[in-house]
Structure 1
């Protein structure tokens, strides 16, 4: 299957450019020779069960995964190309008003809820992994750190995530679950509002109160699920 995918890429697609190189592999952009449609091709060292779980999952705030193939050394993933810019790129220019943050985070919550329904924990929610398209529709990207939640597991088998956004349990204290993504969501909200990590400046007002609960050290004190976060945001009036 892996070799078949390699051969089909050569036959029907043209390589465009390298989107990203990282320690675990590379992310490439290809263009279909006839239709002109773009596709993202990831070549990553190791096995990535979360991508396999996402095969066929359709949700407006998640990229569609077309194919996942493995050989002895690496996994190749064909993924929908998302045109737009990341929140990180937007934050290079400015912070955001509360109304915009509520709009964006509500969509991220919907995407995360779909992941969590499939027992997938993203584990790397941050501005670099959220793309905003021209119509202001949001897509969550990059599931390289994602894991399948296992009910009876005591803790994660490896430490992953981004320093500053990773929840305490991602450092071997306990198993990551949906509340781990709520922690990253809270940090991201604060950065969107203030341009800073909560350690340096905490957002004020009712949004600040929501963020504080998202980033509690004890997962049991956070919101139980992302739709609870969305509901709290939607109760705010501007």
Structure 2
């Protein structure tokens, strides 16, 4: 076998280069936006920054240096995976999957630092889910998508209200409820119920390990959003792997 035959037998990865570079660049922007957006929300609400503090330490601490490395790398990997699922006209579905994953990653970063899931990100995410359902890029129709989001918001909101009345403490924040409703617009009731179960398990284990090995400020709250994002990304990847659609 000559050199040309060897080169031709190697898989070509050049088609993934734009996804790699684009995903890495967007990932780097996500790190910055995860600080800028919560700051803007708090400034507009004239709310004190110190009161919004998660395990990440809040907005006053500098961005960890490692985040500038692993977030772009992770986002680029997800974008490459999305590109790998695309064939022919499915390229638009892959792009939507990539943007969906990046949006979820942005929310996880913001919630980790500030326990905040900004409406200006969550609400467009839900509207995009309705649009994707209308375009036939999800497993449900537009009507089913809207109904799933509404039922999820009412059901979880009602359970949260009952829990607060019984225990006297809030069980789930409003941002978490809106995020789960937005995800229901993408994956329906069944998908989000699996995400809720998985994220609950992830949260319990993550919190236990973090408290064991990391210092955790008494003023800080533990966010539910990052676990929701991990479960949602897992559900999305499994769904595209199994069926080729979101």
TM-score scaled to structure 1, two decimals?
Answer: 0.33
Where is the helix percentage greater, Structure 1 or Structure 2?
Answer: 2
Asked which structure has the greater RCO (Cα within 8 Å, sep 6+), the reply is: 2
TM-score scaled to structure 2, two decimals?
Answer: 0.32
Q: Choose 1 or 2 for highest CA Rg.
A: 2
